Structure 1
Amino acid sequence: MTESEYSHLADATLNRLEAALDAAEIDYERAGGSILEIEFADASVIVVNKQAAAREIWVAAKSGGFHYHWDAAAWRDTRSGEEFFTALARLISAQAGEAVTLA
């Protein structure tokens, strides 16, 4: 994948994530276009950011760090294979203490 293709896919994913967070009424901030911080009532955060050098999207949550690589159809965890939005809904639910669905 070229840097341009990566940038387009990663930006589209972060934009989709913003829309899903808005729909779920979850607080977040996007900094510099490549970092998105999801904020919780206990002052904890989940950080989602682009890693252009690795052509990945990285997530840092209370439960650990996760790397997602594009597999021609979706962003998938490099260890478990779990799809990005499925994993992020699980991580947000765990950190928020309530079930969250990302549409």
Structure 2
Amino acid sequence: MTESEFNDRVDETLEAVEEILDDAESDLDYESHGGMLTVKCENGTQVIFTRQPPVSQLWVAARNGGFHFDFDPTSERWLRDSDQAPLAEVLSEIFQAQAGEDFSFPF
């Protein structure tokens, strides 16, 4: 994947996350700048998304740890590098734990 393709994939993913958060029942604030998306939960915790072009990864930092995701062109999904868990599942778990809300992510 070229750096341009990588950046396009990350942009699409972060935009999808923002759309889901806009429809949230809980009060979630987010800020996006410089390739980073910071989500602030009502309880004061944060979920931070950052792009890592040198390694073509999307990184997610949450209360329960930091996770690195590689884009799998075969399945067209971001998969956690440690165990191949899909980003959508990991984010659902993170937001359930930190925001107390169930989200279904479309990727």
* TM-score normalised according to structure 2 size: 0.86
Structure-1 separation of matches of 2:34 and 2:102: 24
Aligned to 2:20: 20
Instruction: Indicate if the aligned counterparts of 2:31 and 2:37 stay in contact, CA closer than 8 A.
Output: yes
Aligned to 1:100: 102
Aligned to 2:85: 82
Aligned-pair CA distance for 1:38: 1.4
5+ residue gaps, structure 2:
none
| 3-state SS of 2:82 partner | coil
Moved over 4 A (4+): none
Aligned to 2:55: 54
Number of residues paired by the alignment?
102
5+ residue gaps, structure 1:
none
* TM-score normalised according to structure 1 size: 0.89
**RMSD value, Cα:** 1.4
Instruction: Indicate if the aligned counterparts of 2:56 and 2:70 stay in contact, CA closer than 8 A.
Output: yes
Aligned-pair CA distance for 1:51: 1.1
Aligned-pair CA distance for 1:78: 0.3
Structure-2 separation of matches of 1:31 and 1:41: 18
Give the fraction of aligned pairs with identical amino acids, expressed as a percent.
29
Amino acid of the residue matched to residue 33 of structure 2?
G
Aligned to 2:67: 66
After superposition, the C-alpha distances for 1:23-75 in whole angstroms (9 at most, x for unaligned) are 22452323324111111122111111111111111001110000000011100
Instruction: Indicate if the aligned counterparts of 2:43 and 2:98 stay in contact, CA closer than 8 A.
Output: no
Aligned-pair CA distance for 1:20: 1.1
